[in-house]
A and B are shown apart, each in its own frame.
Chain A
Amino acid sequence: MAFLEMIDIVKRYPGVTANDHVDLAVERGEIHALMGENGAGKSTLMSILYGLQSPDEGYIRLKGSTLLLRSPLDAIAHGIGMVHQAFRLFESLSVWENVVYQREPRRGIFVDGARACAEVEELARRHGLPIDPKARVANLPVGVRQRLEILKALYREARVLILDEPTAVLTPAEVANLFTVLRSLAAAGCTILFVTHKLNEVMAVSHRITVLRDGRVSERLVTAQTDPGEIVRAMTGRAVTPQIPKQPRAPGHVKLEARGLVVEKDGRRAVDEVSLQVRGGEIVGIAGVAGNGQSELIEALIGLMPIARGSVLLAGRDVTCESVAVHRASGLSYIAEDRARTATAATASATDNLAMGFHRSAPLARNGLLQPKALRSWARGLIERFDIKIASEDTPVGTLSGGNLQKIVSARELAHNAPVLIAEQPTRGVDVGAVAFIHAELLNVRDRGHGVLLVSAELSEILALADRILVMYEGRIAAEFARAQADEATLGLYMAGGTRP
Chain B
Amino acid sequence: MTVAAEVRAHLRRHVRPVLPMLGAVAVGFGVCGLIALWVGLSPSLMFRQLLEGAVEGPQLFETIARAVPLVGMTLAASVSLRAGIVNLGAEGQLALGGCATAVVALYFPAPDLVRLAMALTAGMVVGASYAALAAAGEIYAGVPVLLSTWLLTYPAKGLCGFLVRTSLRDPSTAWPSTARIAVGTRLGRLIPGTPINQGLLLIAAVAVAVIFIDRRSVVGFELRLRGLNERFARYGGVALRRQTLGVMLASGAIAGLVGAIMVLGSQFRYTDGALTAPQYAWSGTLAALLAGGEPAGSVIAAVLFAALQTGGFAMERSVQIPRVLTMVLQSVVILFLAMRGAIWKRP
- Identity of the chain B residue whose Cβ is nearest the Cβ of A302 in the assembled complex: B235
Number of A-B contacts (CB under 8 A): 73
A334 to B222, CA, bound (A): 19
Chain A residues whose C-beta falls within 8 Å of the C-beta of B235 in the assembled complex: 302, 304, 324, 334, 336, 342-343
Is A345 in the interface zone, CB < 8 Å from B?
A: yes
A263 to B233, CA, bound (A): 23
A365 to B220, CA, bound (A): 12
Contacting pair B218 A370 (CB below 8 A) = yes
Contacting pair B237 A329 (CB below 8 A) = yes
Chain B residues whose C-beta falls within 8 Å of the C-beta of A54 in the assembled complex: 347
Chain B residues whose C-beta falls within 8 Å of the C-beta of A342 in the assembled complex: 231-232, 235
A414 to B169, CA, bound (A): 65
A345 to B225, CA, bound (A): 7
Is A356 in the interface zone, CB < 8 Å from B?
A: yes
Contact for A355 among B216, B221, B239, B241, CB less than 8 A:
B221
Chain B residues whose C-beta falls within 8 Å of the C-beta of A356 in the assembled complex: 225, 232-233, 236-237
Distance in Å: Cβ of A374 to nearest Cβ of chain B: 13
A306 to B216, CA, bound (A): 34
Chain B residues whose C-beta falls within 8 Å of the C-beta of A327 in the assembled complex: 237
A342-365 with Cβ < 8 A to chain B = 342-348, 352, 355-357, 359-360, 365
Interface string of A322-349 (1 = CB under 8 A from B): 0111011100001010000111111110
Distance in Å: Cβ of B209 to nearest Cβ of chain A: 13
Distance in Å: Cβ of A408 to nearest Cβ of chain B: 12
A327 to B218, CA, bound (A): 20
Contacting pair A394 B222 (CB below 8 A) = no
Is A118 in the interface zone, CB < 8 Å from B?
A: no
- Identity of the chain A residue whose Cβ is nearest the Cβ of B232 in the assembled complex: A345
Contacting pair B221 A352 (CB below 8 A) = yes
Contacting pair B232 A324 (CB below 8 A) = no
Name the residue in B220, B224, B234, B236 with the highest tally of chain A Cβ atoms < 10 Å from its Cβ: B236
Q: A370 and B231 in contact (CB under 8 A), knowing A325-B239, A328-B237? A: no
Q: A357 and B218 in contact (CB under 8 A), knowing A345-B228, A345-B229, A348-B225? A: no
Is A139 in the interface zone, CB < 8 Å from B?
A: no
Interface string of A43-58 (1 = CB under 8 A from B): 0000000000010000
Is A368 in the interface zone, CB < 8 Å from B?
A: yes
Contacting pair A359 B13 (CB below 8 A) = no
Contacting pair A368 B217 (CB below 8 A) = yes
Contacting pair A370 B232 (CB below 8 A) = no
A342 to B233, CA, bound (A): 8
Interface string of B210-252 (1 = CB under 8 A from A): 0000001111111011001101111111111100000000000
Chain A residues whose C-beta falls within 8 Å of the C-beta of B238 in the assembled complex: 325
Distance in Å: Cβ of B1 to nearest Cβ of chain A: 10
Chain A residues whose C-beta falls within 8 Å of the C-beta of B237 in the assembled complex: 324-325, 327-329, 356-357
Interface string of A377-389 (1 = CB under 8 A from B): 0000000000000
B179-231 with Cβ < 8 A to chain A = 216-222, 224-225, 228-229, 231
Distance in Å: Cβ of A286 to nearest Cβ of chain B: 19
Question: What count of chain B residues pass the 8 Å CB interface test?
Answer: 25
Is A392 in the interface zone, CB < 8 Å from B?
A: yes
- Identity of the chain B residue whose Cβ is nearest the Cβ of A70 in the assembled complex: B347
Chain B residues whose C-beta falls within 8 Å of the C-beta of A369 in the assembled complex: 216-218
A341 to B225, CA, bound (A): 13
Distance in Å: Cβ of B312 to nearest Cβ of chain A: 35
Contacting pair A323 B228 (CB below 8 A) = no
- Identity of the chain B residue whose Cβ is nearest the Cβ of A303 in the assembled complex: B234
Distance in Å: Cβ of A312 to nearest Cβ of chain B: 16
A99 to B43, CA, bound (A): 58
A121 to B225, CA, bound (A): 49
- Identity of the chain B residue whose Cβ is nearest the Cβ of A299 in the assembled complex: B235
Chain A residues whose C-beta falls within 8 Å of the C-beta of B231 in the assembled complex: 341-342
Contacting pair B216 A357 (CB below 8 A) = no
Distance in Å: Cβ of A256 to nearest Cβ of chain B: 17
A334 to B217, CA, bound (A): 25
Is B26 in the interface zone, CB < 8 Å from A?
A: no
Q: A370 and B216 in contact (CB under 8 A), knowing A341-B231, A355-B221, A356-B225? A: yes
A392 to B10, CA, bound (A): 13
Interface string of A198-227 (1 = CB under 8 A from B): 000000000000000000000000000000
Is B18 in the interface zone, CB < 8 Å from A?
A: no
Chain B residues whose C-beta falls within 8 Å of the C-beta of A360 in the assembled complex: 218
Interface string of B271-283 (1 = CB under 8 A from A): 0000000000000
Contact for A304 among B218, B229, B234, B239, CB less than 8 A:
B234
Is B9 in the interface zone, CB < 8 Å from A?
A: yes
Chain A residues whose C-beta falls within 8 Å of the C-beta of B233 in the assembled complex: 345, 356
Contacting pair A343 B232 (CB below 8 A) = yes
Q: A370 and B225 in contact (CB under 8 A), knowing A328-B237, A336-B235? A: no
Contacting pair A344 B216 (CB below 8 A) = no
- Identity of the chain B residue whose Cβ is nearest the Cβ of A375 in the assembled complex: B221
Q: A359 and B228 in contact (CB under 8 A), knowing A304-B235, A323-B239? A: no
Chain A residues whose C-beta falls within 8 Å of the C-beta of B232 in the assembled complex: 342-345, 356
A369 to B238, CA, bound (A): 16
30 A–B contacts, CB within 8 A, in A order: A304-B234, A323-B239, A323-B240, A323-B241, A324-B235, A325-B238, A325-B239, A334-B235, A336-B235, A343-B235, A344-B229, A344-B232, A345-B228, A345-B229, A345-B232, A345-B233, A346-B229, A347-B228, A348-B225, A352-B221, A352-B224, A356-B232, A356-B233, A356-B237, A357-B236, A365-B218, A368-B217, A368-B219, A370-B221, A394-B9
Give A residues with C-beta under 8 Å from B: 54, 302, 304, 323-325, 327-329, 334, 336, 341-348, 352, 355-357, 359-360, 365, 368-370, 392, 394
Contacts A342-B235, A352-B224 known; 18 new A-B pairs at CB < 8 A: A304-B234, A324-B236, A325-B237, A325-B239, A336-B235, A341-B229, A343-B232, A343-B235, A344-B232, A345-B228, A345-B233, A347-B228, A348-B229, A356-B232, A365-B218, A368-B217, A370-B217, A394-B9
Identify the 8 closest CB pairs spanning chains A and B, nearest first.
A345-B229, A328-B237, A356-B236, A345-B228, A325-B237, A325-B239, A345-B232, A342-B235
